[in-house]
Structure 1
Amino acid sequence: MFPLSHMLKSFVKVGTLKVIDAEGRTHVFGGRAAGPDVTMRLTDPTLYRSLFLNPELAAGEAYMDGRMSFENSTLRDFLTLFSKNRLSLGSYPLQRVLRAASRGVKRFQQANPIGKAQKNVAHHYDIGNDFYRLFLDRGMQYSCAYFTSDDNTLEQAQQNKLRLIASKLDLKPGQKVLDIGCGWGDMALYLGRMAEGVQVVGVTLSKEQCRLANEKAKALGLADRVRFELRDYRELTERFDRIVSVGMFEHVGVAHYGEFFAKVNELLTDDGVMLLHSIGHMSPPGTASPWMRKYIFPGAYSPALSEVFTAVEQNSLWVTDCEFLRLHYAKTLAHWEQRFQANRAKVAEMYDERFCRMWEFYLISAEMMFRTGSQLVFHMQLSKKRDAVPIVRDYITDTQRAFIAREKERGIEPA
C-alpha cells in the first residue's frame, strides 16, 4: 500500500476512510474533524500505484470496473468524503506537481476547433434521446434548474430557469433571437411561445438534439418561427437582437474564449443583448477532472470567473448584469441521480453495468462539486452598449411575474 497509504494519511482530514486492500488487510485513515465514515475495498493490487499517481482518474475507473467497492457505506459517502478533503489532496506534493503540469497543457486538452467540437459533443449527447428521457425533466433540459422553493419539482424548477433567462433578455416584439447550443430546444421554444412575434434560431452540434428539437417545434405549431440547425455557431453570419446560450460555454475551451466572445460581438446588433448561462468556479484557473474529461465531456472545462471576464473585456463587451446560482445545480443533479437510480435496470438493459457505474460516478461527483466543492453557475448579461437594458434590475422581476401570468393564460405548464 505504500506510498498510497502515505498520501491517504495526508488526504483524510475530515471523516474516516477504511481501506481493505487486495490482501484483505484493513488500513484506517482518520481525520481530526467529523465526517463520512467510508469503508472501501480494493480487489486489484495495481490500484495502489494508479491511485497514488492519478487518484481522480483511477478511482472513477476502478469503480466502473468493479475493482473498487464499498461496504457499510456507499459511493455517495465516498464522493462526499473525497469532496470535503479535496484541498488537502491538492496540497500533497506529488499532486501539486502533477496539477501544475496539467495546467500547462490545458489549452491542448481543451482544443475545440470546428469539426473536433462536433466529435466531442457527439461523444456525450448522441448516445440516444431515450436514455436522457430516463432522468431529465419532461422537456429534457440538461442544465442547471432554478429552485424558487425546496418544494419545486424538477419540471417546475426548469421552467423557473427558462422564465428567469427569458426575463433577462428583455425581449421586444419581432426581434431575432439566436440560441447557441440549443440542446433539445426548450429554451428556444419557450421564447417562441412567450414573446410576441420573435424569430428564434437554435444551433447545436448534436444530430439527436437537432432532430428532436425540430419535431417539438412542429408539434407545438411553432415551426414557422422557431427552427433548429445542425451547425457550429462560428459559421453564422446574420445578426441577432438577442443571443442566449445555456450550458454550452463549458464546451468551448479556454483557448477559444476570445473567439467565442468576438463572434458574439459580431453577431449582436448594436443595441443587442446576450445572456450566458454557464458553469464556473470560484477558485483560480485550473484544469478539468481527468476522469470527466476522458469519459464524460472530452474537451470541456468549467472556467474560473477571471478567465471569462478577461475574454469579455478583450472583446469590447459590457457586462450589464451578473448573477450566481450557488446551490441550484447541486439540487438539480440530486433530482437527476434519483431518477437515474429509479430507472437503473432500464439503463443496464440499454447499455451495461459498467455504463451504469460510470453515470453514477458522474452524477454524484458532479453534485458534490456544487454542494461542497468550488463549482457554481453564473448568468452573465452582455451588450455593446451600457444602456441596452434598463439600469435598474426591477425589470427582471417584473417580467417574470408577467410571464407567470402569460403562462397561465396560454396553458403553458411545466414540461
Structure 2
Amino acid sequence: MWSAALHRFLETLIKTGQLTLTYPDGTTRKYQGSAAGPHIAVTLKNPALPRRIMLSPEMGVGEGYVEGDLTIENDDLEGFLRLAISNIASQGHAWYHQPLAVLRYLGRRAAQFNPAGRSRANVAHHYDLSGALYDLFLDADRQYSCAYFKREGMTLGEAQEAKKAHIAGKLLLRPGMRVLDIGCGWGGMGLTLARDHGANVLGVTLSEEQHKIANQRARDAGLQDVAKFELIDYRDVQGKFDRIVSVGMFEHVGTPQYRTYFNKINELLTDDGVALVHTIGRAKPPGVTSPWILKYIFPGGYVPSMSEMTAAVEQSGLITTDLEVWRLHYAETLRHWYDRFMDRIDEARQLYDDQFCRMWRFYLKACELTFRLDRQVVFQVQLARQQEAVPLTRDYLYRGNR
C-alpha cells in the first residue's frame, strides 16, 4: 500500500532529472522528468520507510539517510538533494497543498512559540554542542552566519570580515557609542565593533557555551572593559543603546514574538539610534519549517518572509531606512562550511559518531541547495526611530568613511 502510494507521488513529483528507486521488496522503478537534471539511484532498505516518507517526506527522507536506511549510489548526497529540492521548488504552493502539510502550516504558531525557557532549551540544543565541532568548519572568528563575497575568490575568513565591515558601515558607528548585540554568538561581531570602531558593546546570548567563550575572548584581547557578554534573554535587557545589531538570531524568534522583538528594539534605541537586523529570509510567501530541521537542528526556528517581518516593523513604530537582499551569499558560505567539514570528517567522528556526521552533512548540503534552488535569501534591514538618523543615500557605505 505505502510503496504504491510513494510510487504515485514520485510520478507526480519528478519533473526534471531522473530518479531510480529500489523499494524495500527489491522492486526497482524509474521516474524520468521531461527536462535535464541529475540522474540519481536510491535504495530504501527499511520496509517502514515508504510509509514514513509519505506521512512526512522531509522527515522520512532525512531520517532515512541519517539512519542508513536510505542509501544513494556513490553517496551522491548533493545530486540527490538537487533532484529533490529542484522538483519540490518547481511545484510552488502545490507542494504545501497535501493534507498533512496544510495541518503543519496551521500548527506553525505553536511550533514557533518561544517563551524565554523554551528559547533557552532551543539554543542549547544547537549552540551548546562541542566547541571543537564548530572549529572544524567555521572561520577563525567563528562567524556562524552568512558571509559577504564582495569579490570573486575570497576565502571564507575574508568574506566573513567583509560581512562584519559592511554591517559596521550600516551602523554608522562613532567611538564611545553604546551597542547592543542581540544573539552575540561567540562574540566575533561585538569584539570587532569594540576593537575596530571604539564601541562599548553589550552582547547577549542564551547559550552557556557561547557566553563563556565570548567573555574569554574579550579577556584574551584586553577588551573586557568595552565588550561584555551576558547570559540573558533579549526581552529582559534594560537601558538605552545608540546602536543595536542582530545577526542570525531573528530566525530563532518565531512569528508569535515578532512584534515583541521589534517593539523591544524600539524601546531600547535612543531617539537618534540605528539598528541592523541580518536574517535568513524567504523570497516567497509565508510557509513552514522543515520538520526534520525543527527536530534535529533548530528547534523553534523559522525563516521569515518579507511580508511577515515588515508587518511587525510597521506596528512597532520603527522606520525601515534601508533594506538589502543578499542572493547566493549564504549558498557560498554553506559550500565552504560543507567542504571544510568533509575535509575533517574523521575528527567529527571522534567527537560524535558516523550517524551524527551524516546528519550534519545532510543539514549543511540541504541548506546550501535551498539557497541555490528554492528562493531563500538573506535580508539586512536597517531600522531607526527617526528618518534623519541615517544619510539620505547609500553613498556613505562605499566611500571608505566607515
Q: TM-score, normalised by structure 2?
A: 0.97
Secondary structure of the residue aligned to 2:398 is helix
The aligned counterpart of 2:313 is: 312
Q: Which letter maps to 1:84?
A: S
Whether the 8 Å CA contact 1:80–1:368 is kept in 2: the answer is: yes
Alpha-carbon distance, 1:90 to partner: 6.1
Q: Trace 1:240-251 onto structure 2 (pairs within 5 A).
A: 240-251=241-252
Q: Which letter maps to 2:12?
A: S
The aligned counterpart of 1:265 is: 266
Q: Alignment length, in residue pairs? A: 400
Whether the 8 Å CA contact 1:10–1:92 is kept in 2: the answer is: no
**CA–CA separation in structure 2 for the residues paired with 1:195 and 1:270:** 21
Taking only the aligned residue pairs, the percentage that are identical comes to: 48
Q: Trace 1:278-289 onto structure 2 (pairs within 5 A).
A: 278-289=279-290
Whether the 8 Å CA contact 2:248–2:278 is kept in 1: the answer is: yes
The aligned counterpart of 1:413 is: none
Whether the 8 Å CA contact 2:89–2:374 is kept in 1: the answer is: no
Q: 2:195 aligns with which of 193, 196, 206?
A: 193
Whether the 8 Å CA contact 1:169–1:275 is kept in 2: the answer is: yes
The aligned counterpart of 1:411 is: none
Alpha-carbon distance, 1:219 to partner: 1.2
**CA–CA separation in structure 2 for the residues paired with 1:187 and 1:71:** 42
Higher alpha-carbon deviation: 326-335 or 172-181: 172-181
Find out whether 1:42 has 2:30 as its counterpart: no
**CA–CA separation in structure 2 for the residues paired with 1:147 and 1:339:** 17
The aligned counterpart of 2:336 is: 335
The aligned counterpart of 1:412 is: none
**CA–CA separation in structure 1 for the residues paired with 2:375 and 2:58:** 16
Whether the 8 Å CA contact 1:38–1:73 is kept in 2: the answer is: no
Secondary structure of the residue aligned to 1:313 is helix
For residues 258 and 353 of structure 1, do their structure 2 counterparts lie closer, same or farther at Cα, with a shift above 3 Å needed? same
Provide runs of 4+ in structure 1 moved above 4 Å. Answer: 88-95
Whether the 8 Å CA contact 1:252–1:300 is kept in 2: the answer is: yes
**Structure 2 gaps, min length 5:** none
Alpha-carbon distance, 1:95 to partner: 5.0
Whether the 8 Å CA contact 2:96–2:102 is kept in 1: the answer is: no
Q: TM-score, normalised by structure 1?
A: 0.94
Q: Which letter maps to 1:166?
A: A
Q: 1:169 aligns with which of 171, 195, 217?
A: 171
Secondary structure of the residue aligned to 1:3 is helix
The aligned counterpart of 1:26 is: 28
Q: Show CA shifts across 1:100-159 (max 9, x none).
A: 211111110001101110100000000111110000001111000000122000000000
Q: Which letter maps to 1:135?
A: F
Q: Which letter maps to 1:364?
A: K
**CA–CA separation in structure 2 for the residues paired with 1:119 and 1:237:** 23
The aligned counterpart of 1:371 is: 372
Whether the 8 Å CA contact 1:324–1:377 is kept in 2: the answer is: yes
Secondary structure of the residue aligned to 2:18 is strand
Alpha-carbon distance, 1:98 to partner: 2.1
Q: Trace 1:16-415 onto structure 2 (pairs within 5 A).
A: 16-72=18-74, 74-87=76-89, 95-196=97-198, 198-398=199-399, 401-402=400-401
